[in-house]
């Protein structure tokens, strides 16, 4: 295993991704992690990440310096490198010129981590500090025009530093450099596969849960579906899933899920049709945050009432992913300001005094998809686009009614069918329709119409934190618009949303 110390760089998750892409398991921990824990980890290598601070600032993050004396190879990236220099007796200074963007890396010495790297290659820099004196034992491995120490090494102690970011794609040989660190320097084996992960996780769940009972809130999304599959594999009938139909789902969604989980996968599942309850609570509510609060509260009540019927349940399973875990703590180990308000079942475990099982907590989304495929989940579910907990309620501007839900469901079904047929469903992050609270004039046959407007929204994104509007082909947009206006009663105009996030958001509410 490789340990990545999180000094706060926005690229931390990317480092972890790259390491795992090489088939090596790694975890990210804050610098406050005790040295004793690190010693117990059976590590093959340590990566110190970049970060926004300067090492000479009073409150910059630091880790126990004994980490550099364990005999384990260490790779410091950007701030991580500067931390090494400062700790081991070198000098870091504010650079004369801040270097940001592309630079040409010129190799001076081909130590192990530059194996098979050409003498000149493109790297990506982002730093305001530079190394002005190397610590004893180190020598310069590479420079750029602006940075005399762009890479350094002490091969005898297996300590390496890079001023540039090997984890970003703009560093053209970055993957090879990380590969060299993992395999040539650390002697890692390529054994992190989803198959191995599934096997190990299933036995861990068995050990933790034993013959006790687990409840899981199934939403139909890929995360909760894969969680269900893993736990079912581990404990079979002792898992009960609860699916709450809030009446705000897309066309045929509940029925499809029932078929998959009950009929095909033979998983214990309780379907609760609470549509009427949700719609009643939402009557005449137009404010988006009020809608969210109401939906969250009704969900908790319905879920809890159903869960109480499952006698002797001690665990609640959740499909929490690694980015949620990383984002919900700060770079310095304390609780973070970023708390996702998107977790619908967040308050449940406390309220119901249940222990948590979160088998996906070390995985990224694309790994969850791979794991789902490995476990035999059908492609439709493996590749399902994210869908918000409050469902269509936050895609109907204004109050939610049965009638408006039907219109949006029909529109959405056409949109998804066409997006899938054109091969864009997996290429975009999300694609959906929004029903506007205004009407517009149109002409159908020889008559004037005064009907609803829908907006189509399709975005590309890596993690939903930022997003760009998808450049869907005009012909595809034309076909979708034609079909919606012809097939869905009550809609006479279709518009396309061409805003990015930020400053807009993905959902309209």
Using the rule CB under 6 A, is 292 a contact of ligand XMP? yes
Tokens (6 digits) for 169? 């794609």
Of 314, 417, 497, 507, the one binding ligand XMP by CB under 6 A = 507
Smaller CB separation from ligand XMP, 67 or 506: 506
- x/- contact string, 410-439, with ligand XMP (CB under 6 A)? --------------------x---------
Taking CB under 6 A as the criterion, the residue among 138, 250, 389, 481 binding ligand XMP is 389
Instruction: Verify binding: residue 506, ligand XMP, rule CB under 6 A.
Output: yes
DSSP annotation string for 354-394 = -EEE-TTTT--HHHHHHHHHHTT--HHHHTPPP--TTGGGG
Residue number, 174 or 390, with CB nearest to ligand XMP: 390
Catalytic residue among 167, 306, 367, 509: 167
Q: Residue 356 and residue 373: Cα distance in Å, rounded?
A: 25
Asked if 293 touches ligand XMP (CB under 6 A), the answer is: no
380: its two tokens: 């439709």
> By the 8 A CB rule, do 150 and 164 touch?
yes
- Least distance (Å) between residue 394 CB and ligand XMP: 6
Q: For tokens 């004793």, what's the residue? A: 36
Question: Looking up tokens 């939402």, which residue turns up?
Answer: 282
Alpha carbons 173 and 189: distance in angstroms, whole number: 21
Angle, alpha carbons 93-99-102 (nearest 5°): 145
**Is 58 noted as a catalytic residue in this protein?**
no
Shortest approach of ligand XMP to residue 108 CB, angstroms?
Answer: 45
CA–CA distance, 20 with 7 (Å, rounded to integer): 19
Q: Which of 464, 479, 499, 500 binds ligand XMP (CB under 6 A)?
A: 464
Work out the burial of residue 333: count CB atoms within 10 Å of its CB; fewer than 13 is exposed, 13-18 middle, 19 or more buried: middle
Asked if 166 contacts 77 with a C-beta cutoff of 8 angstroms, the reply is: yes
292 vs 384, beta carbon nearer ligand XMP: 292
Q: Rg of the Cα trace of the chain?
A: 26
78 part of the active site: yes
Q: Which of residues 338-357 bind ligand XMP (CB under 6 A)?
A: 342
User: Is the distance from CB of 370 to CB of 332 less than 8 angstroms?
Assistant: no
- Coil/strand/helix, residue 100: strand
Residue among 45 and 389 whose Cβ is closer to ligand XMP? 389
**Residue number, 386 or 442, with CB nearest to ligand XMP:** 386
The residue (of 68 and 506) whose beta carbon lies closer to ligand XMP is 506
Which of these is catalytic: 53, 60, 127, 165? 165
Report the run of H or E that residue 141 belongs to, with start and end: strand 139-143
Residue 492 CB, nearest approach to ligand XMP (Å): 27
Asked if 162 contacts 48 with a C-beta cutoff of 8 angstroms, the reply is no
Annotation marks residue 342 as catalytic: no
From the candidates 22, 26, 53, 78, give the one annotated as an active-site residue.
78
Q: 386, 398, 442, 490: which one contacts ligand XMP (CB under 6 A)?
A: 386
- Nearest distance from residue 408's CB to ligand XMP, in Å? 15
Interacting span for ligand XMP (CB under 6 A) from 36-44, 59-67, 73-81, 385-393: 385-393
Which residues, in sequence order, are CB contacts of 293 under 8 Å at separation 6+? none
CA 455/CA 408 separation, integer angstroms: 10
Nearest approach in angstroms of CB 398 to ligand XMP is 17
In the complex with ligand XMP, the residue whose CB is nearer, 358 or 507, is: 507
The answer to whether residue 501 forms part of the interface with ligand XMP (CB under 6 A) is yes
Q: Which residues are catalytic?
A: 78, 165, 167
Judged by the rule CB under 6 A, the positions of this chain that interact with ligand XMP are 292, 342, 386, 388-390, 430, 464, 501, 505-507
């Amino acid at each position: 295993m490789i340990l990545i110390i999180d000094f706060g760089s926005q690229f931390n998750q990317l480092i972890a991704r790259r390491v795992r892409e090489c088939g090596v398991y790694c975890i990210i921990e804050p610098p406050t992690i005790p040295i004793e824990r690190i010693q117990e980890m059976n590590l093959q290598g340590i990566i110190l990440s970049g970060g926004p601070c300067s090492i000479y600032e009073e409150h910059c993050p630091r880790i126990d310096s004994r980490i550099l004396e364990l005999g384990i190879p260490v790779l410091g990236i950007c701030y991580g490198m500067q931390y090494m220099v400062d700790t081991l007796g070198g000098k870091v200074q504010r650079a004369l010129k801040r270097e940001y963007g592309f630079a040409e890396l010129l190799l001076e010495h081909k130590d192990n981590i530059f194996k098979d790297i050409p003498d000149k290659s493109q790297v990506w820099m982002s730093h305001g500090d530079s190394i002005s004196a190397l610590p004893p034992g180190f020598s310069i491995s590479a420079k750029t025009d602006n940075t005399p120490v762009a890479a350094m090494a002490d091969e005898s102690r297996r300590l390496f530093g890079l001023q540039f970011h090997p984890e970003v794609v703009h560093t053209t040989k970055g993957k090879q450099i990380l590969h060299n660190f993992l395999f040539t320097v650390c002697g890692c084996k390529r054994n992190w596969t989803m198959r191995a992960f599934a096997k190990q996780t299933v036995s861990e769940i068995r050990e933790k849960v034993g013959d006790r009972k687990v409840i899981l809130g199934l939403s139909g999304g890929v995360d909760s579906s894969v969680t269900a599959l893993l736990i079912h594999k581990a404990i079979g009938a002792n898992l009960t899933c609860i699916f709450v139909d809030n009446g705000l789902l897309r066309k045929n969604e509940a029925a499809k899920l029932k078929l998959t989980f009950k009929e095909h996968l033979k998983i214990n599942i309780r379907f609760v049709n609470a549509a009427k309850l949700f719609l009643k609570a939402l009557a005449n509510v137009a404010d988006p945050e009020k809608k969210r609060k109401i939906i969250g509260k009704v969900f908790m009540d319905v879920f809890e009432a159903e869960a109480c019927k499952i006698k002797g349940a001690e665990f609640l399973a959740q499909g929490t992913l690694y980015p949620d875990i990383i984002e919900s703590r700060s770079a310095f180990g304390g609780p973070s300001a970023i708390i996702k308000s998107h977790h619908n079942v967040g308050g449940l475990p406390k309220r119901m005094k249940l222990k948590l099982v979160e088998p996906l907590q070390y995985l990224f989304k694309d790994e969850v998809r791979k794991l789902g495929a490995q476990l035999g989940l059908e492609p439709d579910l493996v590749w399902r686009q994210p869908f918000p907990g409050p469902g269509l309620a936050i895609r109907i501007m204004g109050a939610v009614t049965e009638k408006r839900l039907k219109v949006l469901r029909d529109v959405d079904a056409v949109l998804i069918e066409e997006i899938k047929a054109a091969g864009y469903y997996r290429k975009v992050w999300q694609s959906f329709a929004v029903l506007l609270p205004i009407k517009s004039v149109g002409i159908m046959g020889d008559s004037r119409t005064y009907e609803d407007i829908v907006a189509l929204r399709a975005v590309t994104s890596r993690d939903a934190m930022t997003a760009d509007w998808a450049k869907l082909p005009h012909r595809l947009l034309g076909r979708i618009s034609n079909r919606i206006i012809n097939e869905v009663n009550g809609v006479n105009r279709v518009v396309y949303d061409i805003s990015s996030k930020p400053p807009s958001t993905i959902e309209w509410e």
